[in-house]
Amino acid sequence: MFLALVFVAVLLLFLYLKYYVTFNYWQRRGVKFEKTHSIFGNIGKNILQRQSMADLIANIYKKHSEEPYFGIFTFMNPTLVVKDPEIIKEIAVKNIDNFITHKLFSSGDGSHVFSKNLFATSGSIWRNTRPSLSPAFTGSKMRAMYDLVNECSMQWFKTFEAKNEETILVNLKEDIIIRFTIDVISTCIFGLKSNSFEDKNNEFFKRAHSVGDFGGNKIFALFGYCIPQFIVKMFDLRIVPNDDQEFFERVVMETIKMRVQNNIVRPDMINLLMDSRKGKLTHDTDGDLNDTGFATIEESSLGKSKVNGEMADDEIVGHSLLFLIAGSDTTACGLTFLIYELALHSDIQQRLYEEIAEYLEEGKGKISYENILKMKYLDMVCSETLRKWPPLPVTDRCTSRPYEIKSENKKSLRLESGTVVWFPVFSIHRDPKYYEDPERFDPERFSDENKDKINKDAYLPFGVGPRACIGSRLAMLMFKSILVHILNNFEVVPVEKTPIPLELSKKHIFLNPNSPVWLGLKRRTH
């Protein structure tokens, strides 16, 4: 009994010391931090679905308004939240070799296939992978893919055109937008047509919708690196469940096999990845075709470097899964926020409609890829949406070796190897220091007269530096294509069920509406 009591006492002392040492980590380093006593750290309100991640971080951000950075805890892991755009640039661009790793998404899955995707890899593997994939997302490749995206944009209209109502009531995201984005991913990434407007419950749509939704308990898989691995294994915390992974793996492998056997060429991502593994893809110099808008990411010189090695089949599957996860629900939410803002701002919607009508008249009822790129107000509206509603409230990096942060009027801070750093994108985008009246939806911020006034280091909708989102051009193409077809045929109007104001979901880490966004589609009489 005595030995048992001693053991319990020692164990409790150990746990207390670990708890004390952990939650005083930032204090010992002289960093202002948000205090916590929870095993979830400072993100407990999001984990327990009481507050959105965006609002949670924004509240802490405002408390430390004068600091260039502050400390928090994700579970019991110290995390540094960097606010200063200059320091963010130093970390994510100038010192990329020291911050080449992500933690979110990269742990806790245990999948030999998913672990090979571009986001999850680091070091030399990532350095070899990024140049292999980046040629697939250049302007000329998007031009070749435009007809596939445009076909999906028209498909929804064929479905809604048959309805008799003068004003059609829609649950915007679920009835239209998520079906559109998954149809685009299906045809552009996986090389097949899911036609989810006609076949509403097809297997590809159901699985893609489930995999791309990171609500509820899936958040534990995102933070798998923070959780003891025996818990990850015990509860099988996977970003992509086994049966879903096997389904998409089968789709990709059957498509590759069929194309090889029948010498089929199609302007989609599977074909480009097949070319990439053969070393056939190179960066093109296509001039204005690369200029797809203010928000798109210009590929770094590292991403344009020489490709080394061939891409294996399981790598193609892993990248395809990543494009599905990164491009379906996040793009759908972004489009939902955009169309919601247009419904509430009829003057902005009318001006955008007039621009669309002008280019449709010029193209005799059709919009070419080149004309999509010329539509300035359309790009302004998309850019402002991504400012006010960025897909991810935070993005992350992790140190591969010790690093020293220096800032004005602040003692230098030495980060240990393995320290996780967050960039609070949502909070920076709504900081009046960088954007006047930031809660207002104002596309004029991105006009030719005003856009040069924007601190581009404080505009991060697709991330920053060589590890920024590789698919920004495809996302913007999806935004613009569907908007042209919706606004050409319908005026989007608020209805009685429209949530005003719009609240963010407490169940997601990504920006997601907290409730269905009901709007009316009022037929236009041309």
pLDDT, tens digit (0-9, with 9 covering 90-100), for 303-339: 777 766 677 888 888 889 889 988 899 999 999 999 9
Q: In which order are the strands placed within the sheet that holds 69-74?
A: 69-74, 77-82, 420-423, 395-398
Q: What is the pLDDT of residues 1-11, one digit of tens each?
A: 665 555 555 55
- pLDDT for 283 equals 65
- Please choose, from the candidates 439, 415, 130, the residue with its C-alpha nearest in 3D space to the C-alpha of residue 300: 130
| Burial (0-12, 13-18, 19+ Cβ within 10 Å), 92 | buried
The ranges assigned to domains in the chain are 2-523
Which token pair is 346? Answer: 């009829």
- Name the residue with tokens 């991105």: 446
CATH architecture of structural domain 2-523: Orthogonal Bundle (1.10)
Assess whether pLDDT exceeds 60 at residue 30.
yes
Q: Which residue has the higher pLDDT, 304 or 90?
A: 90
- CB crowding 430-451: b at 16 or more within 10 Å, else e: bbeebbeebeebbbebbeeeeb
- Please choose, from the candidates 123, 190, 181, the residue with its C-alpha nearest in 3D space to the C-alpha of residue 152: 181
Residues 6+ apart with CB under 8 A from 28: none
Highest mean pLDDT among 136-140, 232-236, 472-476: 472-476
Which token pair is 490? Answer: 């319908």
Q: Which residue has the higher pLDDT, 79 or 509?
A: 79
* Phi/psi at 513 (5° precision): -60, 145
Mean pLDDT of 74-81: 94
Strand pairing of 403-407 and 410-415? antiparallel
Highest mean pLDDT among 43-47, 276-280, 312-316: 43-47
CA pair distance 377, 371, nearest whole angstrom? 12
- What single letter denotes the amino acid at residue 149? V
82 three-state secondary structure: strand
| Segment among 38-47, 295-304, 311-320 with least mean pLDDT | 295-304
Q: Whole-model pTM?
A: 0.93
pLDDT band at 288 (very low <50, low <70, confident <90, very high): very low
55 three-state secondary structure: helix
Q: What is the pLDDT of residues 415-428, one digit of tens each?
A: 999 999 999 999 99
pLDDT band at 232 (very low <50, low <70, confident <90, very high): confident
| Burial (0-12, 13-18, 19+ Cβ within 10 Å), 500 | exposed
CA pair distance 149, 484, nearest whole angstrom? 12
Nearest 5°: the CA angle 208, 313, 123 is 90
CA pair distance 479, 336, nearest whole angstrom? 10
Q: Which residue has the higher pLDDT, 475 or 275?
A: 475
Assess whether pLDDT exceeds 90 at residue 45.
yes
pLDDT band at 112 (very low <50, low <70, confident <90, very high): low
CA pair distance 26, 39, nearest whole angstrom? 16
Q: What is the mean pLDDT of the chain?
A: 88
CB of 108 closer than 8 Å to CB of 71 = no
- Name the residue with tokens 């571009």: 118
DSSP conformation class of 524? P
> H or E segment at 518?
strand 518-523
- pLDDT for 119 equals 84
Which token pair is 61? Answer: 């951000």
CB of 355 closer than 8 Å to CB of 375 = yes
Assess whether pLDDT exceeds 90 at residue 373.
yes
DSSP conformation class of 437? S
Question: Across the strands, what pairs with 395?
Answer: 423
Q: Which residue has the higher pLDDT, 304 or 194?
A: 194
Residues 6+ apart with CB under 8 A from 148: 184, 187, 188, 267, 268
- pLDDT for 37 equals 82
CA pair distance 394, 392, nearest whole angstrom? 5
- pLDDT for 212 equals 87
Q: At what angle do helices 269-277 and 242-262 cross, to 10 degrees?
A: 70
The CB density around residue 346, as the number of other CB atoms within 10 Å, is 14
- Please choose, from the candidates 209, 466, 247, 204, the residue with its C-alpha nearest in 3D space to the C-alpha of residue 325: 209
